[in-house]
């Protein structure tokens, strides 16, 4: 019988203890799930999350794959003891959550909702522009970035997408490379960063590139904290060159109480809640990959170790 080691921590097991067995049964996989350190040489698949129960994968000589519960893999991809195939989480619940977070925050800034929520005195009937008059840059056109880009384009926003390799997406103008990034940023009223944390994306939005954004532009970061040079972002916000930053992810999480982002009038903080893996749908993704592994079919959502995502 297939042996699965759920090594993502006891707290998470509470969320998966019903959904994973049900999803495996639905996928037609006969499996035994163990949650307490088994003999590593008996394990066929490892379900993993950062902060979970394994740091050294060397003894898991029989494991056919490590199946992550997180979309981002920066906390495991550099682990040199990991030689097994690594699959990350691509989950419908995660994607829907991200689309809703991004769309909500784009609309907040597009419609300048704060002005009306604050209760501006007087009667100034200056209507906001239409979405078709607003340009949104989407940095990252993967599972999450492409879904957000499609939704925003569906609301008529002019969406400019940027990725590592050239990409074609209906209704979205795309670019890649450094010159492409400059073209995209220099036209963006709102920029969304949905890139993975890799050595190449570290401080992608530094002082120079933030300087390419038009005055008053808004930055939304639901990707990873390291994508933005914090000091450069704060300097641009303090100088009033950028209008606002809405940040879900940070270099240090939880964000320290004395961090200059806290209480900043041009910064909105959400505590890494933009999108969460939903156990009922994520369990199906794990089960499908185990089914594939057992049937000798290629795994879904394999991480490319050389790219780091």
Choosing from 62, 241, 272, 305, the residue that interacts with ligand NDP (CB under 6 A) is 272
Q: Check residue 229 for interaction with ligand NDP (CB under 6 A).
A: no
Choosing from 1, 117, 127, 165, the residue that interacts with ligand NDP (CB under 6 A) is 165
Nearer CB in complex with ligand NDP: 117/165: 165
- Position closest to ligand NDP via CB: 142
The CA-atom distances, in angstroms, between 213 and each of 17, 38, 59, 206, 249 are 47, 53, 49, 11, 21
d(Cα 193, Cα 26) in Å, to the nearest integer? 36
Q: Check residue 140 for interaction with ligand NDP (CB under 6 A).
A: yes
d(Cα 137, Cα 174) in Å, to the nearest integer? 10
Q: Check residue 196 for interaction with ligand NDP (CB under 6 A).
A: yes
Q: Check residue 220 for interaction with ligand NDP (CB under 6 A).
A: no
Nearer CB in complex with ligand NDP: 24/190: 190
Minimum CB–partner distance for residue 34 and ligand NDP (Å): 27
Inter-helix orientation angle 92-110/143-154, to 10°: 50
Beta carbons of 110 and 134 less than 8 angstroms apart: yes
Active-site pick, 3, 62, 75, 272: 272
Beta strands in the chain (DSSP E): 2-7, 31-34, 45-48, 65-68, 86-87, 135-139, 158-163, 173-176, 190-193, 217-221, 242-247, 267-269
| Residues in contact with 17: Cβ distance below 8 Å, sequence separation at least 6, in sequence order | none
Choosing from 24, 131, 274, 282, the residue that interacts with ligand NDP (CB under 6 A) is 274
Question: Strand, helix or coil at 34?
Answer: strand
List for the chain the helix, strand, coil content (%; round to 5).
30, 20, 50
Minimum CB–partner distance for residue 126 and ligand NDP (Å): 33
Choosing from 23, 66, 141, 245, the residue that interacts with ligand NDP (CB under 6 A) is 141
Q: Establish whether 224 is a catalytic residue.
A: yes
The one segment of 27-35, 124-132, 161-169, 253-261 that binds ligand NDP by CB under 6 A: 161-169
Site for ligand NDP in 245-264 (CB under 6 A): 248-249
Q: Check residue 91 for interaction with ligand NDP (CB under 6 A).
A: no
Q: Establish whether 272 is a catalytic residue.
A: yes
Kindly state the helix (H) or strand (E) to which residue 278 belongs, with its residue range: none
| Residues in contact with 271: Cβ distance below 8 Å, sequence separation at least 6, in sequence order | 248, 253, 254, 255
d(Cα 191, Cα 281) in Å, to the nearest integer? 29
Q: Check residue 72 for interaction with ligand NDP (CB under 6 A).
A: yes
Catalytic residues: 224, 272
Residues engaged in binding ligand NDP (CB under 6 A): 71-72, 94, 140-145, 163-165, 167, 194-198, 200-201, 222-224, 248-249, 272, 274-275, 309
């Amino acid at each position: 019988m297939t042996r699965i080691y759920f090594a993502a921590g006891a707290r998470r097991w509470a969320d998966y203890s019903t959904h994973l067995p049900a999803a495996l049964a639905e996928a037609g996989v006969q499996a035994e799930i163990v949650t307490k350190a088994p003999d590593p040489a008996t394990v066929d698949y490892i379900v993993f999350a950062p902060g979970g129960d394994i740091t050294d994968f060397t003894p898991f000589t029989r494991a056919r794959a490590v199946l992550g519960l997180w979309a981002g893999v920066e906390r495991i991809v550099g682990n040199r003891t990991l030689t097994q195939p690594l699959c990350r989480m691509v989950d419908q619940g995660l994607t829907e959550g991200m689309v809703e977070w991004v769309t909500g925050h784009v609309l907040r800034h597009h419609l300048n909702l704060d002005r009306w929520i604050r209760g501006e005195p007087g009667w100034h009937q200056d209507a906001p522009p239409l979405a078709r008059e607003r340009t949104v840059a989407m940095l990252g056109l993967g599972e999450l970035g492409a879904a957000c880009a499609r939704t925003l384009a569906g609301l008529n926003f002019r969406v400019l997408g940027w990725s590592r390799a050239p990409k074609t997406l209906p209704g979205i103008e795309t670019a890649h490379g450094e010159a492409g990034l400059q073209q995209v940023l220099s036209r963006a009223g709102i920029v969304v960063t949905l890139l993975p944390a890799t050595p190449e994306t570290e401080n992608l939005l530094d002082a120079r590139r933030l300087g390419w954004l038009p005055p008053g532009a808004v930055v939304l970061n639901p990707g990873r904290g390291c994508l933005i040079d914090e000091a450069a972002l704060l300097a641009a916000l303090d100088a009033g060159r950028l209008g606002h930053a809405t940040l879900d992810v940070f270099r240090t999480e939880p964000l320290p109480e004395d961090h200059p982002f806290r209480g900043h009038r041009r910064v909105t903080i959400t505590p890494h809640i933009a999108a969460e893996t939903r156990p009922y749908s994520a369990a199906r993704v794990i089960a499908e990959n185990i089914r594939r592994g057992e049937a000798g079919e290629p795994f879904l959502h394999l991480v490319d170790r050389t790219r780091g995502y």
